[in-house]
Amino acid sequence: MQMYFSCVNLLSATFSKILVILVLQLQLCLWFCIPTYTEAAKEQLPAAENGTLKFPGLFAFGDSILDTGNNNNLATVAKCNFPPYGRDSVGGIPTGRFGNGKVLSDLIAEGLGIKELLPAYLDPNLQSPDLPTGVCFASGSSGYDPLTPTITGTLSLFKQLELFKEYIVKLTGIVGEERARAIIANSLFLVSASNNDILISYSLIARKLHYDFPSYAALLVSMASTFFRDLYSLGARHIGVFSTAAVGCSPFDRNRGGLLRECLELELEEAAWFNSELSSELDYMRTNFTDSKLVFLDIYHPLLDLNQHPHKSGFQVEKFGCCGTGTIGVAILCNEFSPFTCTDASKYLYWDAVHPTERALRIVASQILKKYK
């Protein structure tokens, strides 16, 4: 048994080093001249029959919690457009979503009645009719800290904003400037971008050598605030910002939790600290952007509760992921040749070593949607 956990720890460290040493040069992209919108469109938001606000579209920025396939054609190991990813989706086809089915951005779009699936903006099969109801710009393994996507070879938030500017040009060409502004002003924008900053740039890389965690959290909050202001300047008026997840409880983190594979208290405390600072920043921003709605969306506590009391929600396994051995299998280490992959992911809280199953995310999404009732 001791030899088994030694092997797990060795493999865990090896995978971490893969992410650390993979520093890829992202291609420089063209800037697009987009007018900034200082006033939200006056079009009122109609209420749906169930009392939920009716948004014309949804846009997602950030990391793998929301990514629906933007990493597929990037030179990065942080991709999952291969089996068994997506095996429980319609058709069982891997699309680049980090899970066995839908991810959180899909589930919220579905719950709000916008669309069943939120397409990735970089999907080569994206069609013009998809644009008015929103797309996803998120990139798995990205973060607020620009060091994070540099390490992982994924799309920085700066690059995601550039793609959004490109999107605005395309949308304007389809529906006209006035309607495009109304769509953007009345749509919901989701942002999730702190998990990898804490797990990779701080815990594994040199940021820890230069910052204690409160200082690094303050840096992240400053970067996050700048990003929210940039979204506002481009017309966004309804912004939902996700907290950091219960990062210390993923199967990958539990590899360092001893023989009982307990959650890592230090990482949970760091996540909670950052979440408190981020929430306070959003409170402050609301006093300055009175024509907008900025909402802090807590996924930390729902996921922590699922980890601490999995059987209340019918989960049988929370310390291991469904894919492979359930300890280190994520991205390229979770593939169709992975041994021991489970047959029923609905019994598992986590699909791979990092990402929750669709069933777990549905529970979280149902709580998030209450914010907009």
- Please state the φ and ψ torsions of residue 358, each to the nearest 5 degrees: -60, -40
First to last CA, the chain: 50
How many CA atoms does the CB half-sphere of 113 hold within 13 Å? Answer: 12
What does the DSSP 8-state code read for residue 339? T
- For the domain bounded by 2-24+48-372, which CATH number is listed? 3.40.50.1110
What gap in Å lies between CA 102 and CA 19, rounded to an integer? 25
What gap in Å lies between CA 195 and CA 111, rounded to an integer? 24
| Residues 20-56 pLDDT 10s | 333 333 332 322 333 333 333 333 333 444 444 589 9
Q: How many Cβ atoms sit within 10 Å of the Cβ of residue 33?
A: 6
Q: CB within 8 A of 231, min separation 6: which ones?
A: 61, 161, 189, 191, 239
pTM of the model: 0.87
In the three-class reduction of DSSP (H, G, I as helix; E, B as strand; rest coil), residue 73 is classed as coil
User: For residue 59, what is the enclosing H or E element?
Assistant: strand 58-62
Active site residue 64: yes
Bridge partners (DSSP) of residue 331 are none
Quote the pLDDT of residue 203: 87
What gap in Å lies between CA 273 and CA 220, rounded to an integer? 12
Q: Which of 369, 372, 364 is nearest to 103 (CA)?
A: 364
Of 67, 145, 253, 352, which residue is the catalytic one? 352
Boundaries of every domain in the chain: 2-24+48-372
Active site residue 352: yes
Q: CB within 8 A of 370, min separation 6: which ones?
A: none
Helices 177-186 and 157-175 cross at an angle (nearest 10°) of: 130
What gap in Å lies between CA 183 and CA 217, rounded to an integer? 33
What gap in Å lies between CA 273 and CA 269, rounded to an integer? 6
Question: Residue 120 has which token pair?
Answer: 């990735």
Quote the pLDDT of residue 54: 82
Of 88, 89, 105, 355, which residue is the catalytic one? 355
CA dihedral of 271, 272, 274, 276, whole degrees rounded to 10? 160
Active site residue 309: no
Residue type at 62 in one-letter notation: G
Of 64, 194, 203, 250, which residue is the catalytic one? 64
Cα 360 to Cα 90, 335, 366, distances in angstroms: 18, 21, 10
Helices 300-308 and 358-368 cross at an angle (nearest 10°) of: 130
Q: Could you list the beta-strand ranges (E) of 130-256.
A: 188-192, 238-242
Q: Which of 93, 74, 193, 171 is nearest to 126 (CA)?
A: 171
Residue-level pLDDT, tens digit, the chain, 373 residues: 444 334 434 444 444 433 333 333 333 232 233 333 333 333 333 344 444 458 999 999 999 999 999 999 999 999 999 999 999 998 999 999 999 999 999 999 999 999 999 999 999 999 999 999 999 999 999 999 999 999 999 999 999 999 999 999 999 999 999 999 999 999 999 999 999 999 999 988 779 999 999 999 999 999 999 999 999 999 999 999 999 999 999 999 999 999 999 999 999 999 999 999 999 999 999 999 999 999 999 999 999 999 999 999 999 999 999 999 999 999 999 999 988 999 999 999 999 999 999 999 999 999 999 865 5
